[in-house]
Amino acid sequence: MEKRIGIYPGTFDPITNGHLDIIHRGQKLFDLLYIVVPNNIQKNTMFTVDERIALIKEVLKDCDNIIVTKTDKLTVDFAKEVGAFAMLRGLRMVSDFEYELQLSAINKAMDEEVETVFIMSSHELSFLSSSSVKEIVKFNGDISKFVPDVVAKALQEKIHN
């Protein structure tokens, strides 16, 4: 049978337990899941693309059937290149909906064949975002419940050193 390949695109600045929840639940839908970080976006990130990728790889080092990579391509083009039939995205609250709807419509307009698949965040993680975690670290708050240890350490070093 043909392999079911999916991609999970995102900024992951840095990866949080919210992203991991989507990855672990999404993994069940695919034989192979690419986690892909765009290399060319105009976002002001705290971590470089290579730092973000290194953190994701470290956190997922024991997971099979996951490939972590960056791309210079449009997400839909990357999906096509690796033979993915779907893009995975997470939905937290209604506020995510409008942005995600627009994004999936644009992607659909560019490539009819690639579907976007949404997974609703687990309710205890629905408030969690990379930006809130970065804010908490700036004020010396405890982020141990929100990110894996290696990410917490990287954040502390980045912000306080």
Active site residue 130: yes
- Distances in Å between the Cα of 13 and the Cα atoms of 44, 52, 55, 80, 129 are 10, 6, 10, 25, 9
Q: Which is nearer to ligand ADP, 10 or 148 (CB)?
A: 10
CB atoms within 10 A of CB 108: 14
**Rounded Cα distance, 83 and 6, in Å:** 8
Place of tokens 């970080």: 37
Q: Which is nearer to ligand ADP, 5 or 89 (CB)?
A: 89
Place of tokens 């970065």: 134
From the candidates 52, 89, 121, 130, which is the catalytic residue? Answer: 130
Q: Name the residues that contact ligand ADP, by CB under 6 A.
A: 10-12, 16, 18-19, 21-22, 89-90, 92, 96, 121, 125, 128-130
Q: Which is nearer to ligand ADP, 2 or 98 (CB)?
A: 98
Using Cβ positions, the residue closest to ligand ADP within the complex turns out to be 18
Active site residue 19: yes
Residues forming the active site: 19, 43, 92, 130
